[in-house]
Structure 1
């Protein structure tokens, strides 16, 4: 079986095709890309039923039964973040943990009007882990998820902007959102709203572009930089915020610069000391500028960019015990599949993934192409030696019955 390498994709891309259109927006994805992505807010009423992703029961389970620690939780009230010691405690007998969530303290703070923020749910709640991985594959940008649980008539945070795009999914209750256009469009990760407090406050005092109440199933898209504040209405409000960690042209420029500087390190003339008693630097700057320009012209940011992208998301879960059992019991009929969200790429005879790379014998390239094409395979289709190797490497996992 021959498969074009340009067609090789993480199976999450196929599984996730249409995630945004099916569950977040009611317009075609190309229209969203052209008219809203990174530029305009979008409100979608009744986008989907999100009860399979998250619920009040999920909140209670995470806070009281999972043994979470900071920073998986923070709490805020009246625009200020509460100190961690106000909702954490020691883990008790048999543990030396001092910052485990204290459900009693959380309850008291919540009853007193504090908002609960469950952070990085893409790491702690399986339905969201799967959903964010699929969405990230579809969008081509990493996705994180936080949940905001706000008591009636309360707000956790003042007007602010985020340094990533967001999809807001209203789960339970309702929340009023007041949205203003950016004071600093397209902020980078190191350009938070706190650097522009006065401008943000001034803009927030003006006429909003959106003033609406989100109910269960509604979805709001906000590009990074858009100002927003939200307040729960007559009942507890639970919403998910999906943060899209945007790749930018500036990120590509960073990779170009890093590659260029690495090249200049190899130039003896650039490593040489300046003359003793050097008084002016005009001539030196001119020489360095020419050398740097030439290095940028030769720079190839692609390898570093790919490496960086691979580290920005995690592969799908792997059970060590199930993996060992599959490896020990491997037979020609053992059912396997490619591990999800690996960002695999076959470059000649080298297979790159988020969990490392494998150099393959030429005879195994066809098996690698077959594995990367997706679907459930039996080990005999791949060859037992290759199947054993990708199982051991954590690239393939046992397929569920």
Structure 2
């Protein structure tokens, strides 16, 4: 039997329209990819009804009943972030952790004009979590989601740019957005707007590229580097900022270089001391260049990129009690599927995933390849022993989960 060497699983990517087309834009995926992505802002009016993702009731639930801690929330006023101590306190008997959100203090800050920023909603609010997982899988780039809740006639932050692309999704109220051209196009993650503070401030005084009012259901896409500021109008504004942490050529070069340096560390010639009394290291530098170029050429970029992608995200939630029940009650007709957002990939004799590598005997390779389609399978068609091992490893989950 020939051994399948490589297979991939993309966490249930659909061949039809995904959440990008159905929820965020109205120009079609191909046109967006060719004309907009990473190049220019895009305003989509009435992109959809987002009340299933988030709402005012969700804000109150998260702040007053979930026992959130920092940094899941930050508070900003007059362009500055307030200290955590101004809105956190111990939670009383049995929960004396000092950095839990204090809803009374938050109410007072909000009533005084502060913006509440609920961070990492993709970790704390299930509808947003599912949406962000689907979008990240579709785009091929990591996604995070924050919510901004701003009282009437206020702005949370001064003119600035982000180092990641964003989709601004207006949930409630209205907010005026003023957009200016970049002063530092396509900034990298270590190149924040504060490095160009004066240029940003100067650009903000020039005619705007876009000056518009976002209403509920509108969506605004901004590539990284575009300068923006926003202000609420006559009522509370709630919007989601869907941040896309785009992979760049620079990031790939950085990772290739690091991998090459690690490989050169195993080369005795590269570890050798330079000659005594060396004044002009020209010949040595030429030799190092050749060896470094050769090391970069030997790195497997596909495997490296897949490894990095796995590190940048988390798999779908796993309920330990449901998982234990699935193992305990496993029968031939038990329906199972690959866990969502696992970034599973068969590399040789190992199934490599976000929860670690899983050795696969040659006899099980055809069944594991079938699992990579992301569909539901019966345990008896895969083998009870294999299914049990994959359930215990957190790779498979019950189909209904």
User: Which residue is equivalent to 1:391?
Assistant: 391
Q: TM-score, normalised by structure 2?
A: 0.96
Deviation at 1:267, TM superposition (A): 2.1
Matched residues in 2 for 1:70 and 1:200: separation?
A: 29
1:247 aligns with 2:247: yes
Q: Give the aligned partner of residue 69 of structure 1.
A: 69
In structure 2, the partner of 1:121 is 121
Output the CA distance in 1 between the equivalents of 2:270 and 2:344.
38
Question: Deviations for 1:39-89, whole angstroms, at most 9, x for unmatched residues?
Answer: 010000000000000000000000010000000000001101011100000
Flag the 1:364–1:7 CA change in 2: closer, same or farther, 3 A: closer
Q: How does 1:67-106 map to 2 (within 5 A)?
A: 67-106=67-106
Preserved contact between residue 115 and residue 150 of structure 1 (Cα < 8 Å): yes
**Cα gap change, 1:6 to 1:289, in 2 (>3 Å):** closer
Change (3 A) 1:138 1:30: same
Paired residue secondary structure (1:321): helix
Specify the alignment match of 1:341 in structure 2. 341
Asked if 1 retains the 8 angstrom alpha-carbon contact of 2:50 and 2:217, the reply is yes
RMSD between superposed Cα atoms in Å: 1.7
1:244-286 deviation line (CA, Å, top 9, x unaligned): 0100111110122112212221222221112232223223222
How many Å apart are 1:371 and its aligned residue? 1.8
Question: Residue 42 of structure 1 corresponds to which residue in structure 2?
Answer: 42
* SS, match of residue 12 in structure 1: coil
Asked whether 1:359 is paired with 2:324, we answer: no
* 2:213 counterpart residue number: 213
Structure 1 residue aligned with 2:235: 235
Instruction: Note if contact 2:7-2:345 (Cα within 8 Å) is conserved in structure 1.
Output: no
Unpaired stretches in structure 2, ≥5 consecutive residues? none
Q: 1:164 to 1:149 in 2, by over 3 A?
A: same
CA-CA distance at 1:325 after TM superposition:
1.1
Unaligned runs of 5+ in 1: none
How big is the shift at 1:374? Answer: 2.2
Relative to structure 1, is the Cα distance of residues 311 and 282 closer, same or farther in structure 2, using a 3 angstrom cutoff? same
1:271 equivalent in alignment to 2:247 = no
Distance 1:5 1:112 in 2: 61
Alpha-carbon deviations, 1:191-217, whole Å to 9, x = none?
000111000000011001100000000
Q: Structure 1 stretch 78-87 or stretch 279-288: which is displaced more?
A: 279-288
Q: C-alpha separation between the residues in 2 aligned to 1:125 and 1:226?
A: 28
Aligned residues of 2:7 and 2:346 also touching (Cα < 8 A): no
Q: Distance in 1 between matches of 2:20 and 2:27?
A: 10
The reply on whether 1:196 has 2:208 as its aligned counterpart is no
Q: How far did 1:98 drift?
A: 0.8
Structure 1 outlier segments of 4+, above 3 Å:
4-8
Q: Which residue of 2 aligns with 1:112?
A: 112
Contact 1:16–1:135 (Cα < 8 Å) also in 2: no
Task: Report if the CA contact (8 A) 1:15-1:134 is conserved.
Answer: no
- In 2: Cα distance, 1:178 partner to 1:16 partner: 34
Moved more, 10-19 or 122-131: 10-19
Using structure 1 for the length normalisation, give the TM-score.
0.96
Q: Within 1, Cα distance between the matches of 2:169 and 2:16? A: 18
| Secondary structure in 2 matching 1:21 | helix
Distance in 2 of aligned mates of 1:358 and 1:6: 14
- Structure 1 distance, partners of 2:150, 2:391, is 44
Q: Give runs of aligned pairs for residues 143-154 of structure 1, distance below 5 A.
A: 143-154=143-154
3-state SS, counterpart of residue 13 of structure 1: coil
**In 2, distance between residues paired with 1:200 and 1:11?**
40
Q: Distance in 1 between matches of 2:264 and 2:7?
A: 37
Q: Which moved more, 1:187-196 or 1:339-348?
A: 339-348
SS of 1:186 mapped into structure 2: coil
In the alignment, which residue of structure 2 is the partner of 1:166?
A: 166
Deviates more, 1:173-182 or 1:341-350: 341-350
Q: Are 1:179 and 2:193 counterparts?
A: no
CA contact (8 A) 1:38 1:224 kept: yes
Alignment pair present for 1:22 and 2:22: yes
Alignment of 1:8-19 (within 5 A): 8-14=8-14, 17-19=17-19
Name the count of aligned residue pairs.
399
* Separation of aligned partners in 1, 2:302 and 2:5: 18
The answer on whether the counterparts of 1:21 and 1:29 sit within 8 Å (CA) in structure 2 is yes
